[in-house]
Amino acid sequence: MSGEQSTSIELGERVANACRVLGALDLTPGTLGHASARIPGTDRILIRARGPAELGMRYTSADQVIEITMDGRRTAAADAAARDGLAAPLEVHIHTELYRARPEIHGVVHVHPQIPVLLSICDQPLQPIYGAYDPHGLRLLLDGVPTFDRSILIDTPALGRDFAAVMGKARACIMRGHGLTTAANSVEEAALAVIHLNELATMTYRAQLLGNVRPIAPDEQQAFRAMDIDAGYGDLRPGIPSGRAVSLWRYFDRRARDLAPPG
């Protein structure tokens, strides 16, 4: 087995695991959603497949992760989908156009978490309502979380480019009445961005139910903007979790395993 084949097999399992974690945490329902990773040093992508043979996000296995080109086509033989029941997602262009526009990212996640979608439907923005409770979620918001204001399938390259232009260099983008897309150094870090933003959305929603919502003070927001959250956790490692994300992902991975049904 070549080094590239070994890397692809390991990366495929990491993509599948990110899907399982997000599914176990109920951050996307049923078969909706997909995660992907760029194969290092190439223009090829590993992505959770859709089709009659899939088992949904929560039960994704490595054999349900397929390799595609930057045009969204499978690299396998033309009749592969007919044989194995797996095809690229309709919204594959979310992934391909983000990778095309942003060579620094190696992981993309698109999911349909209920509370962020609900807030987008009601034109209720995420708010900087906490700091030390979850600095990562706050930093995501302070760095900017744009909204793609169309509730449609991103099923063409042109729509993918439109979406990528709205998302820009942000690590997350809310899609009105649709879902949430994140992009990061690795597929695990993209999944963590979903987890953090869902927590912020849930807290925003609950705070609004209680009333008298008060964001943290501007000087405190600035302090978290300037904070080096990953200090002491090592240097950036392209394509794999780095910084504090290493231990955070280990925690959520274990939690998802604990939530998994027996057998």
Q: Which residues are catalytic?
A: 91
- Indicate the length of the chain as a whole number: 263
Say which residues have a Cβ less than 8 Å from residue 212's Cβ, sequence separation at least 6: none
Quick one: CA dihedral 228, 143, 200, 17, positive or negative? negative
The neighbour count for residue 239, using CB atoms within 10 Å, is 19
Strand partners, 47: 36, 66
For residue 86, what is the enclosing H or E element? none
Pairing between strand 34-38 and 45-48?
Answer: antiparallel
What is the torsional sign of CA 133, 204, 152, 51? positive
**Do the bridges between strand 65-68 and strand 45-48 make them parallel or antiparallel, or are there none, so unpaired?**
antiparallel
